[in-house]
């Protein structure tokens, strides 16, 4: 049995609470938040508190709070030599107070408030200063069904950066697709199967091998047509920059 | 029963042949290609030819050939007043010779050579000059299980352009994610569930509502960290441009 205390009340904290709470060999001993209101609805299934001084004993304390709050809370913890972990993709492990053992449990996934999360689709990247702590965190992650990977600080930082490209930036391309189609009264819905297929393709094929289209073929006629269709100059800039990027990757253009 | 002649031997032609061939109320009367070699393996299930003069009678002739070849082949067809359609996202319907009735069957999907295609995931956009021809093409598309949509030329052109954003450009962002992670020995595999989830999210939520991340939050500290991690200046340019795009979309920055 692994005992856990959760600190924070955002999406990650809430989804972790829910999955821990239904996992047999994990017990959530307590849930802390400065403001009890967002966690009040769970008070029948877990002990809740807004006082760090009242924190109970546990195998691991999970600081699922905003990046800026991690260092502060870690130094205010009224105990020593226990295992504390944060869940951020970019906060340094050493930013947490060294009076406790430190680690990171970085779930590499996008969490929406409403949706239920299948943790078998949430790779958990684990970083610790001590190997013994790694085994406990791995056990915790495996218990909720997540794939796990031991990584170092640099690897976590580049994964967080890469996640911005494949998630936030990709979503912005979807947004531009939405704007362009709606501008002519065409339906964004028609693009949805293509969006899924594009994401599926790179599950089994490298993005390099999966590339197609006018930029890769250096089809200047289509590229010119597309640029003339784009009325928004910001969209033109993105079209040009990503076309050049594809052509550099596929050897159509000098570096 | 709808009778079809297919012209061309690329991915679209081949996938259309395969699905038509197994659909009860469609008969492929003939398959034409200038070079018989790529279609020779199908000669036991369909009549093949390399001569336009030998084309048989059919309800619809599908020119699934390269964009540049469409006009030429359409004018060389040795008959008149029959229905000919091309499958391109960007070639004008009027580029085909007006001696025949003209239409477009534009499948909005990415086709790989190897994979079998589930046509229920391939929206088919239909354009015709004559309403009667629209009904025949719709019947054809519905028979293979595809969602269909009647569109005009401008709508087809913006859908083709938007497809470049959500498919080719998105795939290039995956490629950059691949490069960034591998540069530190982290595994691209860890990003695959996030890629799928990002694509799934916009199936039920607008890309505007689905956006998250440092650009949307205007989290300058993380943005600076990311830029300092990026060693490739081309990647920095893309990071900056897409961050600005997100901030413009979400009102963080003046137009």
Mean pLDDT value of segment B191-215:
96
A202·B225 Cβ contact <8 A:
no
Over residues B4-54, the pLDDT tens digits come to: 999 999 999 999 999 999 999 999 999 999 999 999 999 999 999 999 999
Give the percent of chain A with pLDDT over 70.
98
Q: Which of B160, B213, B221 sits opposite A164 (nearest CB)?
A: B213
Strand, helix or coil at B104?
Answer: strand
Q: Which of B67, B167, B188 sits opposite A194 (nearest CB)?
A: B167
Instruction: Compare all CA atoms of chain A with the CA of B193 and give the residue at the minimum distance.
Output: A121
Over residues A152-198, the pLDDT tens digits come to: 999 999 999 999 999 999 999 999 999 999 999 999 999 999 999 99
Mean pLDDT value of segment B118-132:
96
Mean pLDDT value of segment B122-133:
96
Q: Alpha-carbon distance A215 to A242, whole Å? A: 9
Q: Alpha-carbon distance A210 to A214, whole Å? A: 14
Q: Which of A90, A199, A238 sits opposite B222 (nearest CB)?
A: A90
**What are the chain B neighbours of A112 within 8 Å (beta carbons)?**
201
pLDDT at B253: 56
pLDDT at A253: 56
**What is the pLDDT of chain B when averaged over all its residues?**
96
Q: Where are the domains of chain A?
A: 2-151, 156-249
Over residues A196-242, the pLDDT tens digits come to: 999 999 999 999 999 999 999 999 999 999 999 999 999 999 999 99
pLDDT at B108: 97
Is residue B112 very low, low, confident or very high in pLDDT (cuts 50, 70, 90)?
confident
| A156-249 has the same fold as A2-151 | no
* Structure-derived torsion over alpha carbons of residues A209, A215, A217, A218, reported in degrees to the nearest 10: -140
Give the percent of chain B with pLDDT over 70.
98
Structure tokens at A145: 């069904």
User: Using alpha carbons only, what angle is made at residue A99 by residues A97 and A104, rounded to the nearest 5 degrees?
Assistant: 55
Q: Alpha-carbon distance A13 to A30, whole Å? A: 12
pLDDT of B255 above 60: no
Residue B217's CB is within 10 A of a number of other CB atoms, namely: 16
Over residues A91-139, the pLDDT tens digits come to: 999 999 999 999 999 999 998 776 788 999 999 999 999 999 999 999 9
Mean pLDDT value of segment B83-102:
97
CATH superfamily, domain B156-249, is: ProC-like, C-terminal domain (1.10.1040.20)
pLDDT of A255 above 50: no
H or E element: which one contains A160?
Answer: helix A153-163
pLDDT at B113: 75
- What CATH number labels A2-151? 3.40.50.720
A226·B112 Cβ contact <8 A:
no
Is residue B216 very low, low, confident or very high in pLDDT (cuts 50, 70, 90)?
very high
B193·A121 Cβ contact <8 A:
yes
């Amino acid at each position: 049995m692994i005992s856990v205390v959760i600190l924070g009340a955002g999406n990650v904290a809430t989804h972790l609470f829910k999955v821990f709470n239904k996992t047999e060999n994990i017990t959530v001993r307590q849930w802390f938040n400065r403001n009890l209101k967002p966690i009040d609805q769970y008070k029948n299934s877990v002990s809740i508190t807004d006082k760090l001084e009242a924190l109970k004993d546990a195998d691991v304390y999970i600081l699922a709070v905003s990046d800026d709050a991690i260092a502060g809370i870690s130094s205010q913890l009224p105990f020593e030599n226990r295992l504390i972990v944060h869940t951020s993709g970019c906060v340094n492990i050493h930013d947490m107070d060294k009076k406790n053992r430190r680690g990171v449990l970085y779930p590499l996934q996008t969490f929406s408030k409403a949706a239920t999360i299948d943790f078998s689709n949430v790779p958990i990247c684990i970083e610790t200063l001590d190997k013994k702590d790694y085994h406990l965190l791995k056990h915790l992650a495996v218990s909720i069904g997540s794939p796990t990977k031991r990584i170092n600080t640099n690897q976590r930082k580049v994964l967080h950066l890469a996640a911005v490209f494949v998630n936030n930036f990709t979503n912005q391309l979807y947004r531009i697709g939405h704007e362009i189609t709606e501008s002519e009264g065409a339906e964004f819905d028609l693009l949805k199967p293509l969006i899924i297929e594009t994401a599926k393709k790179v599950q089994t094929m490298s993005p390099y091998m999966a590339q197609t289209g006018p930029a890769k073929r250096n089809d200047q006629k289509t590229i010119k047509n597309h640029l003339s269709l784009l009325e928004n100059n910001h969209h033109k800039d993105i079209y040009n920059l990503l076309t050049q990027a594809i052509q550099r990757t596929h050897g159509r253009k000098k570096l």
